[in-house]
Amino acid sequence: MEDIHVSKRHPRAESIRIRERLTGHIETKVLALAGLIAHGRGEAFDYILGEETTPSAKTAITAAAATLLLAEHPVLSVNGNVAALCAEEFVELSEATGAKLEVNLFHRLPGREEAIEAVLREAGAGEVLGVDGSATARIKEIFSDRRTVDPRGIFVADVVFVPLEDGDRTEGLVRMGKKVVTVDLNPMSRTAQFADVTIVDNVVRAMPLLVSEAERLKASSGEELKRILDAYDNARVLSESMETMLKRLGKLSERGVYLEPSEG
């Protein structure tokens, strides 16, 4: 992106750069306006979390990589925020795990699918599902008109990676019997709660780690991968994230002097 003009020394330079990247993608149609509000919610939770990948998030990242590698038909679901922030890592994760890429939108506005597909292609993607009218299968488990998926992708997948997903839709996927892996900064969201593996982290920090974990575990046997999953406890990961947030809020509160998510 050419719109990066924030001093590197600004204490919140990174989050300001991410904001500019997202607002720039309103014009390209990759992002819907609601995506900006969702990003703001994420920022607040990330701030409370400490803006770091926690040890339990790392545990979840390892389990996520193992789940994707063990899957028969894994699919990586790409929405606007994800395309704007980490298209390259999605392509790399697809290559490392053999998972298909599917554009899967809550707000299917004219031109959006194409814009997201273009971002993925530019990042090196080959096959992209869910575009050009290919999202023709309806998930009856999702009670809204935003439930169409690609019959070659999410519809037949056994494992779906759906970061930053809407709660209703995650619930629908779980009801269909799919294993769901997600990234969500709010451990209390329904997506975080319903998923089989929840990475409570900023998607920008988590994706490179997930890619390298998938590459590292690629050579492992099915047995080894299964052992990772047997030892994994998502409820514990969620409650550890809550504890991290509670501790940090408590510490900030005691200190009485605060930093802030810098206001736009």
- Given the rule CB under 8 A, which of 54-62, 131-139, 213-221, 239-247 is the region that contacts a copy of itself? 239-247
* Per-residue CA distances from 184 to 23, 38, 178 (Å): 20, 11, 18
Among 19, 178, 179, 205, binds a copy of itself (CB under 8 A): 19
Binding map of a copy of itself across residues 144-183, x = CB under 8 A, - = no contact? --------------------xxxx----------------
Binding map of a copy of itself across residues 105-144, x = CB under 8 A, - = no contact? -xx-------------------------------------
Q: Is residue 168 within 8 Å of 143, Cβ to Cβ?
A: yes
Burial annotation 225-263 (CB, 10 A radius, 16+ → b, else e): beebeeebebeebbebbeebbeebeeeeeeeeeeeeeee
User: Whose Cβ is closer to a copy of itself: residue 7's or residue 221's?
Assistant: 7
Nearest distance from C-beta of residue 179 to a copy of itself, angstroms: 20
The answer to whether 23 contacts a copy of itself (rule: CB under 8 A) is yes
72: CB partners within 8 A, 6+ apart: 158
The answer to whether 264 contacts a copy of itself (rule: CB under 8 A) is yes
Q: In what order do the strands lie in the sheet with 197-199?
A: 128-129, 100-103, 74-78, 159-161, 179-183, 197-199
Asked whether the CA dihedral 170, 172, 174, 178 is positive or negative, the reply is negative
The answer to whether 186 contacts a copy of itself (rule: CB under 8 A) is yes
> Quick one: DSSP state of residue 29?
T
Q: How far apart are CA 119 and CA 88, in angstroms?
A: 9
Nearest distance from C-beta of residue 58 to a copy of itself, angstroms: 21
Binding residue count for a copy of itself, defined by CB under 8 A: 51
Q: Is residue 84 within 8 Å of 26, Cβ to Cβ?
A: no
User: Whose Cβ is closer to a copy of itself: residue 38's or residue 66's?
Assistant: 38
Among 3, 4, 37, 143, binds a copy of itself (CB under 8 A): 37
- Given the rule CB under 8 A, which of 52-60, 92-100, 143-151, 254-262 is the region that contacts a copy of itself? 254-262
Nearest distance from C-beta of residue 51 to a copy of itself, angstroms: 13
CA-CA-CA-CA torsion for 4, 9, 14, 19, nearest 10 degrees?
A: -50
The answer to whether 249 contacts a copy of itself (rule: CB under 8 A) is yes
Q: How far apart are CA 33 and CA 192, in angstroms?
A: 23
Residues that bind a copy of itself (CB under 8 A): 19, 22-23, 26, 32-45, 48, 106-107, 164-167, 186-191, 193, 235, 239, 242-243, 245-246, 249-250, 252-253, 256-264
